[in-house]
Amino acid sequence: MKKIKILSSLMSIIIMLAVITSFSSAVSALDDDAEIATWKGFRKAAVSFTFDMGAPSHISTVAPLFDEYGYKASFYLVADLSPDWKNFQKLADNGHEIGSNSKTYPADMSGEEKSSKEAIEKKISSKYGCITLAYPNGNVPADTSAVKANYIAARTRTGSVIVHKGPSDWTRVPSYLTGAEGTIKTSNDFVQKIQSTVNINGWVVFDSYGISQQNNGPASYSPTALNAIEGALSWTKDNDKDVWVAPLCEVAMYLKERKASKIVKTKEGQSSVTYSLTHEIADDICRYDYPLSIRCPLPTGWNDVYVTQGKNVLDSKIVNGMVWFDAVPNGGDIVVDKAGAIDPTVKLSQDVFEYDGTVKTPSVTVKNGNTVLKKGTDYTVTYDDGRIEPGTYNVKVTLIGSFSGSKTVSFTIKKSASLKLDKTSASVVCGNTLTLKAALTGSADAVSWKSSDTKTATVDSKGKITAKMAGKVT
C-alpha cells in the first residue's frame, strides 16, 4: 500500500512539472523585456455591445449615443429583412461593426452562413468586412464547420463572462441578453456585470435587440431602455483606464493575435532599440492586423523617445520608465529611438486677424536653427478650439520623430470699433423730441453726443434730441 502511495505522489510531481514546463515555454516566446497587453491599452477588461436584426432605432438612437461617448458597437443584420443599407453603411464608415445575423432569420442559421455574409458584403463596405456572426435566437447549428469557414467568431446567448484567454470555442462566444426578456435590464445591471469582468480581467458581451419606445422594425423582442445603455457607457467612460469598449470583431482579433504573437528584440544600439512583432494566423477570412498594445523598458537616461514601425510614426507615451505604444503584427520593424530635445523657432503666417465671423487657422513654420522641419514627420500642430470671436488663441507645436519638446505661440483676433445709428436722417417739429439709438461694437468706450448747432437742436448724454428752430443740424 505504501508503494502505491509513493508512486501516486511521484506521478503527481511529474505531471505538475510537465505543466510548469509547458507554461514556461509559452512565456519564453515573448522577449523578456517587452510585454503585450492582455487588453488594449493595458486595461483590465474588454466589453462589446452588440445589436441584432438591424432595427431603425439602432441608426437613429443607438449609434449616435455610442458616437457621443467615443465608442463603437457591433450591429448584426438580417440581409433579407431589407435593413436601411445606406445608413448602416454610414455606421460602418464611422467605425461600427456590421456583421451577419443570417439571411432570412431561420431557426439556427444552418445553411446561411456563407450566403448571408456575401449578401451583407455586397451592400456594406467596411475595413474588416463581415467577419463575425450572431446566431438567430442564439441557436447554434449542430455542424459549425461553415461558421468556421466564414467567420472568426460567432456569438451565442449563453450568459457568461469570457476569461482573458478567450472562449474555448470561437463558434460559441457567450453573451448576456439585455432588456425586458434578459437578465441585464438597468444601468446597474450593466455596471455590475462589467465590474465583475474587470475583477477577472475578462471580456463580456451584451446582446440587445430594439430600444424601448423606439421604432424597432423587426427587432421588437426584449426592448432595452436607452438610458440603461447610456448609464453603462457613462460608467465605462469614467473608468476608461480599466475598461476597453470595442466591437466584437476587434476584441476577437486582438485576443487571437495576442495569443499567437511574439515580440522579440532584434537589435540594440546606443540610440535605438529594434523589435519584431509577428504571428502566423492570417487566413482568407481575416488579415489579423489589429494593433496590439506593447510596452518596453527604456535604457537609463532615455527621457524621451519616438517610435516608428515601417514608415509610420506611432503614438507613444512613457510610463514609469517604459514606453507604451500600439503596433501591428507583421507590420515591419518597430524602432524605439532616443529623441533629442530642441528649442524650435516657431513662426505663424499671421499674428493678428481682423474679426469677420470665420475660424482663423494660421499656418506654421518650424525651424531647428536654419533647418525647416516637416509637419507630420518632425512635428504636429494643435490649435485652441473656437478661434472665431475676438481674443487671443494658442497654437502648440509638439515635436516628434527625431526631436522632442514642444512650443506654444499665440495669435490675436481683433474687432475694429463700429458705430451704427438707428437713423441717418429725420425731421422733427420744433418743440418736439427724438431719441437716437447708437450701437457700438468692438470697443469698450462710451458714446458721447454733440450738436453742430445748439440753436437749431440740442442733444443730451443719452441721444435725446430737442428741436429748437427750423434748420438743419448734425
Residue 255 identity: L
Buried b / exposed e along 291-330 (16+ C-beta atoms within 10 A): bbbbbbebeeebebbbbbbeeeebebeeeeeebbbbbbbb
pLDDT higher than threshold 90 for residue 223:
yes
Q: How many CA atoms lie within 13 A of 216 on its CB side?
A: 19
Q: How sure is the predictor about 135, in pLDDT bands with cuts at 50, 70 and 90?
A: very high
pLDDT tens for each residue of 407-453: 999 999 998 777 888 888 888 888 888 899 988 876 667 889 999 98
What was the pLDDT predicted at 89? 98
Question: What are the Cα distances from residue 19, in Å, to 14, 25, 26, 30, 258?
Answer: 9, 10, 11, 18, 21
- Give the integer Cα–Cα distance in Å for 112 and 282: 24
Buried b / exposed e along 428-454 (16+ C-beta atoms within 10 A): eeeeeebebeeeeeeeeeeeeeebeee
pLDDT tens for each residue of 151-164: 999 999 998 999 99
- Give the integer Cα–Cα distance in Å for 399 and 381: 9
- Give the integer Cα–Cα distance in Å for 262 and 280: 10
Which secondary-structure segment (H or E) carries 260? helix 248-260
What was the pLDDT predicted at 369? 84
Q: Between 346 and 341, name the one with better pLDDT.
A: 346
What was the pLDDT predicted at 74? 98
What was the pLDDT predicted at 220? 96
Q: How sure is the predictor about 278, in pLDDT bands with cuts at 50, 70 and 90?
A: very high
Average confidence (pLDDT) over 204-229:
97
What was the pLDDT predicted at 312? 85
Q: Which of 14-28, 98-112, 145-159, 422-436 has the lowest mean pLDDT?
A: 14-28
pLDDT tens for each residue of 187-209: 999 999 999 999 999 999 999 99
Looking at the chain, the whole-number percentage of residues with pLDDT higher than 90 is 71
Residue 115 · residue 91 · CB < 8 Å:
no
What was the pLDDT predicted at 259? 96
What was the pLDDT predicted at 442? 66
